[in-house]
Amino acid sequence: MKGAMKKPNGEPTRKALELKAWGFGSVGAARKFANTHKKS
């Protein structure tokens, strides 16, 4: 996922809010989870 985690005014972006709703604190954490649970 491309894009910033915060808007220029300091508010979280929609991307950041969605990751938080899914229980991830960062893009790296979401990527690690996806790679770990990937079906071959």
* pLDDT tens, residue by residue, 13-23: 999 999 999 99
The whole-number pLDDT of residue 1 equals 76
Number of H helices, E strands in the chain: 2, 0
Total residues found in the chain within this entry: 40
| Residue 10 backbone zone (phi > 0: left; psi -120 to 50: alpha; other: beta) | left
pLDDT digits (tens, 9 = 90+) for 1-40: 789 999 999 999 999 999 999 999 999 999 999 999 998 7
pTM: 0.78
* SS3 state at 5: coil
